[in-house]
Structure 1
Amino acid sequence: MKIGRILTACATAYGISAPISTFLIGGGPVTMIWGWVLVSLLTLSLVLSLAEICSQYPTSAGAYYWTFRLSPLRARVLLSWMTGWLTLVGVWTIALSVNFGTGQLIVAAAGIFHPEWEASAWQTYMIFLAVITVSSVVCIFFNRYLPLLDTICAYWTAIGIIVILICASVKAAAGRHNAAYALGHFDASQAGWTPGWAFFIGLLPAAYTFSAVGMIASMAEEVRNPAHELPRAMVYTVPIGMVMGLVFLLPIVFTLPDIGTLLSVSSGQPIAVMFTLIMGNKAVFMIGMFCAISISCAASRATWAFARDKALPYPSLFSRLSRPAGTDPIPLYAFLLSTTIQLLLGLIYLGSSAAFNGFVGVAVVCLGASNALPVAVLGRWGASINAIAVLWIAFSIVLFCMPTALPATADSMNYASVVFVGFALFSAVWYWIDGRHHYVGPPVPQDNGGSDTESMGREENAVGSTKLPKTFGDAELPVDQ
C-alpha cells in the first residue's frame, strides 16, 4: 500500500484538531504530549496482533471475518455477527464524525473572518450536509481518482505540519512557554473530574486518531498483494502517526494560548482560534475534506462487505455494484445506506451541542471492540501483547462513554452509550428475526480437513489465493450497467 494511503489512514492532523478541546479539558500539555505517546504505544500492541491476523486473512470483511475463522465452531456465527455489527456501527459513526467535524471546522474557520457571526445548530447541520455532499460526489463519480487524492492528502498533511511547526515556533504571537510548562503542565480544573480520571478522559483525541486503523482492511480487494500490503500499512500507521502527531503537537504546547479562552469559543472547535492567536494573523489549515472522502469510501466498502454476507436487511440490494456515469464498479447502494445513517444521526446535533464527542465516542468504542474480539479469540504476538490490547480497549469503552466535563447536563451529556445501545438492540432483534435463519458467516475456502480452531500457521492463506469469491471484478455479483 502506498505511503499516501497510509498517511491518509493516519489523518493525524485532523484526528487531533477536531476533538482538541478534549485534550485541553483533560489537562492540557501533559495529556496532549504524554497521553499521545501512551495511546500510540497501546495502539501498537493492538495493531501488531491485527496485522498478524490480517496477513493470514486479507479481506474487506475485516474483523468479523477474522473472528469467524478464529472462533470455536459453536460460537463462530454469533461472535462474527456481533463483531460485524460493531464494525459497521463504528465505520458509520467515524465517517459521521469526520464529515460532521469537518463541517464544524468550517464554521470555526468562518468565525475567524466573521467574528460577529455565530452559527446556529441548523446552520451547522446544513454545512455538514454540504460536506457530506462533496465527499459523496467524489466517492461516487470520481472513484478512480481516490489514490491520487490520497497522495495529495499525504503531501498536504506533511507540508502543512512542517509549515505549522516552523511558523508557530517563529511567530508565537500569544507568547512562549518553557519546557517545564510544555511537557509538564497539567490542569484538570476545566473537567470537574479528579485529576487522574480527567487525564484519561483527555485521551479521546489520541484514541480517535488511531481508531480507524483496522479499517485499512476494508480496502483489501482493491489493493494488489493485500496479504503483504495491508499488514504493513497497519503497522506503519502507528509509528508514522505518532511521530507526525508529536511534530504537530510540540509547537502547539510551547506556544499554547490561554486554555480558558480557547474553550470559550462558541463553535466548540478552538483549533482555528488557537492558530490565529499563535500565528498573529488569520490563517486556516484545512485537511478535513480529504479525510471525509477517504473515510466515506472505506465505510461504504465495509457496509457492502457485510451486506454481501447477508447480515444486513435487503442484502441483494446493498451488495449490488453499480457503474454511475460509466465509472468503475462501486458499491453505490451500500454507500447511500452509510450516508443516510450519517444524515439521520447528525440530527442529534440539533438537540445537543456535545453531539460531536458522542459520535467520536461511539466510533472509538465500536471499532475498538470489533478489533479486540479477534485478538481476544486468537493472536500469536504473545499473550502479554494481546492482553494489553484487549484491556486497553475494554477500559476505553467505559472511558469514552463518560461526559467530557462535569457537571453533565442534557446539552453536554455524552450520548455515545445511547447510540451504542440503540444499534446493539437493533442488531440483536435483527439477528433473532432474520440473521439466525440466513447468516451463516462469511464465505470461507474449503477446509483441508483440519479444525477451524487450529493454529493459523497451519492453514493456507486462501483469501490471498483466489479460492474465495472475488468482489468488484466478480461477474457473479450483480453489477448495474
Structure 2
Amino acid sequence: MASNSSDDQLGKAEDVDMLAQLGYAQELKRNFSKFEVLGPSIASTLPFSIPAGPVGMVWGWFVASGLIFIVALAMADLGSAMPTAGGLYWWTHYFSAPAYRNPLSFLVGYSNTLGLVGGLCSIDYGFALMLISVVVIATDGTFAPSNGIVFCVFMGCVLSHGLVVTFASRYMGRLQTVFTIANLLLVAATFVVLPVGRREQRNKAAFIFGEMANLTGWPTGWVFFLSWLSPIWTIGGFDSCVHISEEAKNATIAVPYGILGSVGLCWVLGFLSQIVIASCMSQDLEHLLGSPFGQPMAQIYYDAVGKNGAIIMMTFLFLTQWLMGVSLLVAASRQAWAFSRDGALPFSTFFNHVSKRFGYIPLRAVWGCAILACVIGLLCLVNAAAASALFSLAVAGNNLSWFIPIFARIVWGREKFVPGQFYTGVLSVPIAIISCLFLFFSTLLAVMPYGGPDVNAETMNYTIVVSSAVWGGALAYYFIDARKWFTGPKITIDATQLTEEQEDKMARNGVVDVKHINVNSPGKDEKSVEV
C-alpha cells in the first residue's frame, strides 16, 4: 500500500489508496463520516422569488431544484470516481483535450475558489442582515443600521468562523451534524409557527399555487425564471462535499451521498417550506419586500407571531445561517489549499501548508479565505445593489466551475471516465448534457439586473463586472505568466511507496507515467514518477 504510519493515522488504508491513485499523499485527517458530509442549506432568499409571487416561490423552487438535482447527479458520478479536494479543476484537467486542459483547469480553479469565497460572503452578509433585523424588531424600528454597521457585523461573523474552524477541527464533522439538525428543526418550527399564527388569515390554494405577480420591469415569464435564483443560490453549496472529500471516510460513497442528500433535502423541504410561507404570508408583496425590518422573512414571522415570536424565529434563523457559513469556510479553504498544493495560487508555498498542531488542517488557507472574504465584503459599504453581487458571484463562479468539468467529460473524456461506487449508468451522459444546458442558463440569470432592463448605479447587477474581472484576470494571468509553469495537478505521492496495482491504475487513467529505474543497491528497484 502507498501508505505509512502517518497516513494510517490520517485515514483508513482504502481511502489513502484511492487518493494515491489520483497522485496525492494523504495530508488531511479524515474526520467526516457519510452523514457528516451531508449539509443541506435552507436559507431565506425570498427577495429573489417574491417579485414573481407565490407561483415563483413555490413552482420556481420545485422546477429549479429538480434541475439542480440533475446537476448533482452529474457531480456525484465524478465525485465518486475521483474524490479529491481540488475536484472540479482536477477533473477539468483530467478530461480536457491536451491543448485546453491547462488553461481550463487554471480558470476553473480560480473561478471555484472565488465562487466559494463569494458564497461565504453572501451567507455571512445574509447573517448580518438577519441579526440586525432582530435588533430592528426589538427596538420597534427605531434603530436604523448604516452600511458600516452591516459590514462590521459581517466581518465579525467571518472572523468567528475562522476561529471555530481553527480551534474545533476535530469536532468539525459533529458540527456538520448540528448544522443539518438545526436546519431540520428550523423547517419544523416554521411548519408549526406560521400556520398556527396565521390560522385565521391563511391564503387559499388558488393563491398559493396559481397567483403570479410581476414586481419588476421584465416580462412576466422572465420574472418566473429569475425566481429560480432563490433555490440556485440556496442549494449552491452542495459541492462543499467534494472539497472535503480528502477528509471523508469512505469518500467514494460519502461524497455522492453528501451531494445528493444535500440537494434532495433542500428540494423537498424547501418546496414544502415555500408552500407554508405562501399560505401564511401577506398578499401585499410590495410591503414584504420593503419591510422596515430589512428582511421579508422577518416581516412574515412578525405578522404571524408578533414581536417576541419574530425575534425568537429570526434568532434561530441567523444562528442556522452562521452554521452554514462555517461549512462554506471549510469548503473554500480546502479548495484554496488544494489549488495551492498544485502551485496555482499566489504564495502557494505558504498556503499549501498543513498544520499538524491544529489537527491536520490547512490553517493558512483558512485564514487566507477569511481575510479575502472580508475584503470582498467591502461591497456592503457601497449600496444594496453592490452587496447583492455577493450572492450572484457565488452562483456565477460556481456554475462555471461545475459546467466545464462536466462538459469536458462528455466532449473529450468519455473514454477516460471510470465509474466509482456510485454511477448513473446509461443515463450518465444525458444527465451531463442536461446539466450543462441548465448551468449555462442559470449563469445568464445570475448576471441579469433583477428589477428590469432599465438600470442605473442603484439597480445595476454588478455580478457581470465582478465575475468578468475574475475570469478575465485568471485567463490573463495564465497566458501572460502561468502558462510557463502551470502544468496542472502535481503528484505528491512518494513514488517509492506505490504498489504495482496503483502504478497500473495511475498509468491506465493517464494520471502519470510510472517507470522503474534500476539503482546501484543490489536487488532493489527504485521508482520515479513523471507527470
Same fold (TM over 0.5): yes
Q: 1:62 to 1:422 in 2, by over 3 A?
A: same
Q: Deviations over 1:113-155 (max 9, x none)?
A: 1111110100110111111121111011122221222122222
Contact 2:41 2:262 survives alignment (8 Å) = no
Partners in 2 of 1:281 and 1:67 — Cα distance? 51
Asked whether 1:294 is paired with 2:341, we answer no
Partners in 2 of 1:229 and 1:377 — Cα distance? 24
| Aligned residue number for residue 387 of structure 1 | 433
Q: Deviations over 1:267-303 (max 9, x none)?
A: 6422112211122343223211111111111111111
Structure 1 residue 319: Cα displacement: 0.5
Pick aligned residue for 1:216 from 213, 219, 241: 241
Partners in 1 of 2:265 and 2:92 — Cα distance? 28
Q: Deviations over 1:58-115 (max 9, x none)?
A: 0001111111111122321122111111211111101111111111111122211111
Q: 1:120 to 1:255 in 2, by over 3 A?
A: same
Secondary structure of the corresponding residue to residue 192 of structure 1: coil
Structure 1 residue 172: Cα displacement: 0.7
| Aligned residue number for residue 144 of structure 1 | 170
Partners in 1 of 2:236 and 2:358 — Cα distance? 31
Contact 1:108 1:270 survives alignment (8 Å) = no
| Aligned residue number for residue 41 of structure 2 | 11
Question: More displaced, 372-381 or 440-449?
Answer: 440-449
Contact 1:7 1:241 survives alignment (8 Å) = no
Question: 1:160-179 alignment to 2 at 5 Å?
Answer: 160-172=186-198, 175-179=201-205
| Aligned residue number for residue 71 of structure 1 | 96
- TM-score of the pair, normalised by structure 2: 0.80
| Aligned residue number for residue 311 of structure 1 | 344
Asked whether 1:276 is paired with 2:287, we answer no
Partners in 2 of 1:421 and 1:220 — Cα distance? 29
Partners in 2 of 1:49 and 1:260 — Cα distance? 39
Structure 1 residue 183: Cα displacement: 0.9
Structure 1 residue 388: Cα displacement: 1.4
Partners in 2 of 1:321 and 1:228 — Cα distance? 25
Q: Deviations over 1:324-361 (max 9, x none)?
A: xx421221221222112211111112112123421111
**AA matched with 2:120:** A
Q: 1:136 to 1:398 in 2, by over 3 A?
A: same
Partners in 2 of 1:175 and 1:356 — Cα distance? 34
Asked whether 1:405 is paired with 2:444, we answer no
Asked whether 1:439 is paired with 2:486, we answer yes
The size of the alignment, in residue pairs, is 447
| Aligned residue number for residue 497 of structure 2 | none
Partners in 1 of 2:509 and 2:179 — Cα distance? 41
| Aligned residue number for residue 56 of structure 1 | 81
Partners in 1 of 2:358 and 2:276 — Cα distance? 44
| Aligned residue number for residue 474 of structure 1 | none
| Aligned residue number for residue 518 of structure 2 | none
Contact 1:62 1:215 survives alignment (8 Å) = no
Pick aligned residue for 1:91 from 111, 116, 127: 116
Partners in 2 of 1:355 and 1:104 — Cα distance? 15
Where structure 1 has 5 or more consecutive residues not aligned to the other structure, the ranges are 454-458, 463-481
| Aligned residue number for residue 346 of structure 1 | 377
How well do the aligned residues superpose, as a CA RMSD in angstroms? 2.2
Contact 1:20 1:271 survives alignment (8 Å) = yes
Question: More displaced, 443-452 or 128-137?
Answer: 443-452
Partners in 2 of 1:370 and 1:186 — Cα distance? 33
**AA matched with 1:184:** G
| Aligned residue number for residue 126 of structure 1 | 152
Partners in 2 of 1:106 and 1:231 — Cα distance? 34
Contact 2:54 2:209 survives alignment (8 Å) = yes
| Aligned residue number for residue 11 of structure 2 | none
Secondary structure of the corresponding residue to residue 447 of structure 2: coil
Structure 1 residue 212: Cα displacement: 1.8
Structure 1 segments, 4+ long, off by >4 Å, are 1-4, 444-453
Contact 2:56 2:228 survives alignment (8 Å) = yes
Contact 1:73 1:452 survives alignment (8 Å) = no
Structure 1 residue 381: Cα displacement: 3.5
Partners in 1 of 2:38 and 2:137 — Cα distance? 28
Contact 1:29 1:186 survives alignment (8 Å) = yes
Partners in 1 of 2:202 and 2:324 — Cα distance? 31
**AA matched with 1:304:** W
**AA matched with 2:60:** G
**AA matched with 2:403:** A
Contact 2:41 2:237 survives alignment (8 Å) = no
Partners in 2 of 1:236 and 1:294 — Cα distance? 15
